[in-house]
């Protein structure tokens, strides 16, 4: 059992990662600024995890000031911030934050959405020469329960539940789309490896894509637009291939059930 901290635990991938880690580890869930996400949804996520679990919830300021040491610290909030804001302005805060975080951990794992963002963070982290081990993981686009309200599948489900018919923009771009639970499990498995590669990219044997910059009116039109191809190939990262992925139908159904249960939040 390891002592882990997840920075950005109220975000999309951060929340799922806490759920994956808490079965096997002691977890400190660090709540950062919630950005586009409401306080009510953040509280609902904490309630869903359960206060009797092996998870301690702390604000970012408390986490930074406390003299605690961790086996692994996961940095997730860049993933959500860059995806939501479509900009890498958050990387400007990197230096001061990283100096403190790296002093608290034997190992730091960065989760990033794009190769460009990953490369910039990798360059900055390598320049610091900290003593902790650093691993970088590039994550594809994600869908699933607690997907941000700007997410394509989320918007389509909410629109159809409200019996509206409106054109919804593809926010995934040309990136691969995977179910958040599958990716969370893959990240946990990578973190359990004693000897890690320096940089990973999470992919699937059969990858799903959507045409970039397309718009869809309804779930069926989106499903008709899905393109399936072989796993992504990367020169500068080691692929971590998810062999058994949640089917798109099952994933959408799980997401729909969660949205129906919490429809008042949206």
Q: What is the pTM of this model?
A: 0.89
Best-predicted range by mean pLDDT among 41-45, 49-53, 141-145, 233-237?
141-145
Distance between CA atoms of residues 197 and 190, nearest Å: 9
Average pLDDT score over the chain: 84
Token pair 């995977």 is found at 178
Whether 88 shows a pLDDT value over 50: the answer reads no
pLDDT, residue 90, reads 54
Q: Where exactly are the structural domains of the chain?
A: 3-265
Start-end of H helices in the chain: 12-21, 39-49, 60-65, 77-85, 94-102, 115-128, 152-161, 180-192, 219-225, 248-261
Q: Which fold has domain 3-265?
A: Rossmann fold (3.40.50)
Confidence label for 87 from pLDDT (cuts 50, 70 and 90): very low
Q: Tokens for 178?
A: 């995977």
25-35 average pLDDT score: 81
pLDDT, residue 117, reads 62
Contact 136, 98 (CB under 8 A): no
Question: Which residues are CB-contacts of 96 (< 8 A; sequence separation ≥ 6)?
Answer: none
């Amino acid at each position: 059992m390891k002592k882990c901290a997840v920075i950005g635990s109220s975000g999309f991938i951060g929340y799922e990662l806490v759920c994956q880690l808490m079965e096997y580890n002691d977890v400190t869930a660090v709540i950062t600024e919630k950005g586009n996400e409401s306080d009510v949804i953040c509280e609902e996520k904490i309630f869903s995890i359960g206060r009797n679990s092996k998870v301690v919830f702390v604000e970012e300021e408390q986490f930074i000031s406390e003299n605690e040491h961790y086996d692994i610290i996961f940095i997730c909030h860049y993933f959500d911030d860059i995806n939501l804001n479509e900009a890498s302005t958050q990387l400007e805060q990197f230096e001061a934050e990283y100096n403190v975080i790296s002093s608290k951990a034997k190992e730091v794992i960065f989760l990033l959405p794009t190769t460009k963002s990953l490369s910039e963070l990798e360059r900055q982290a390598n320049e610091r020469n900290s003593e902790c081990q650093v691993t970088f993981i590039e994550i594809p686009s994600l869908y699933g329960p607690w997907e941000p309200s700007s997410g394509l599948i989320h918007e389509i489900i909410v629109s159809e539940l409200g019996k509206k018919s409106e054109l919804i923009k593809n926010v995934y771009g040309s990136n691969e789309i995977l179910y958040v639970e599958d990716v969370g499990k893959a990240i946990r498995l990578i973190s359990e490896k004693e000897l890690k590669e320096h940089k990973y990219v999470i992919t699937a044997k059969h990858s799903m894509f959507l045409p970039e910059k397309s718009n869809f009116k309804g779930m069926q039109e989106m499903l008709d637009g899905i393109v399936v191809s072989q796993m992504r190939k990367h020169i500068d990262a080691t692929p971590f291939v998810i062999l058994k992925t949640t089917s798109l139908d099952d994933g959408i159904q799980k997401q729909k059930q969660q949205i129906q249960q919490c429809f008042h939040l949206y």
